[in-house]
């Protein structure tokens, strides 16, 4: 399409729809009637095949696919599907990183064992210091005797 489409004399790009086009899709740039204006996800055969797996692995994506599949309005838009999936996967990655990060932080908190270890080290230090002090006192007493 070299010329920018004039909406006035365009018909809807949807198959078998001869309504006047009055809106353009920002993703695929085609023109549609009011009913078919909104982009919906396109399901590939692979997606259909994976649907039950998706229900467990990615419930948000599953819900969106099923909801879009059952819609009577809108137009299946490959470009929108691509954008939606990229955005969704990015968000999923981010939330997974947050989960990873917080579990890492939790494991970094000192366990009882390391707490005991630190306490024992401190006692050893104090005992060592006391021994040195006693030695100095004995030495001083010996010298000034
Ligand atoms: Zn579209
Ligand atoms: Zn239409």
Residues 27 and 98 in one domain: yes
Residue 13 Cα to ligand 2 midpoint, Å, equals 7
Give 129-137 contacts, CB < 8 A, sequence gap 24+.
Answer: none
pLDDT per residue as tens digits for the range 69-109: 999 999 999 999 999 999 999 998 998 888 887 887 776 66
Residues 71 and 31 in one domain: yes
Residues 55 and 31 in one domain: yes
Under a CB-based contact definition with an 8 Å cutoff, are residues 65 and 54 in contact?
Answer: yes
In the Cβ-directed half-sphere of 94, how many Cα atoms lie within 13 Å? 6
Residue 70 Cα to ligand 2 midpoint, Å, equals 17
> Which residue range is the domain that position 96 belongs to?
7-109
Residues written for the chain = 145
In a domain, 137, yes or no: yes
In a domain, 19, yes or no: yes
In a domain, 2, yes or no: no
Token pair belonging to 128 = 């060592």
pLDDT per residue as tens digits for the range 100-135: 878 877 766 666 677 788 888 999 999 999 999 999
Question: Angle, nearest 10°, between helix axes 78-108 and 59-69?
Answer: 160
Residue 23 Cα to ligand 1 midpoint, Å, equals 10
Residue 60 Cα to ligand 2 midpoint, Å, equals 28
User: Looking at the 3D structure of the chain, how many domains does it have?
Assistant: 2
Residue 43 Cα to ligand 1 midpoint, Å, equals 14
For the chain, state the CA radius of gyration.
Answer: 35
| pTM across the whole model | 0.62
Residue 40 Cα to ligand 1 midpoint, Å, equals 8
């Amino acid at each position: 399409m070299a010329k920018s489409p004039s909406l006035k004399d365009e018909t809807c790009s949807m198959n078998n729809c001869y309504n006047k086009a009055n809106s353009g899709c920002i993703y695929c740039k085609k023109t549609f009637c009011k009913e078919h204006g909104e982009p919906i996800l396109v399901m590939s055969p692979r997606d259909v095949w994976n649907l039950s797996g998706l229900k467990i692995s990615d419930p948000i994506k599953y819900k969106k696919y099923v909801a879009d599949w059952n819609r009577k309005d809108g137009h299946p838009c490959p470009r929108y599907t691509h954008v939606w999936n990229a955005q969704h996967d990015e968000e999923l990655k981010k939330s997974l990183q947050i989960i990873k990060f917080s579990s890492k932080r939790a494991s970094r908190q000192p366990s009882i064992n390391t707490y005991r270890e630190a306490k024992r080290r401190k006692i050893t230090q104090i005992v060592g210091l006391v021994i040195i002090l006693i030695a100095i006192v004995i030495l001083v007493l010996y010298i000034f005797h």
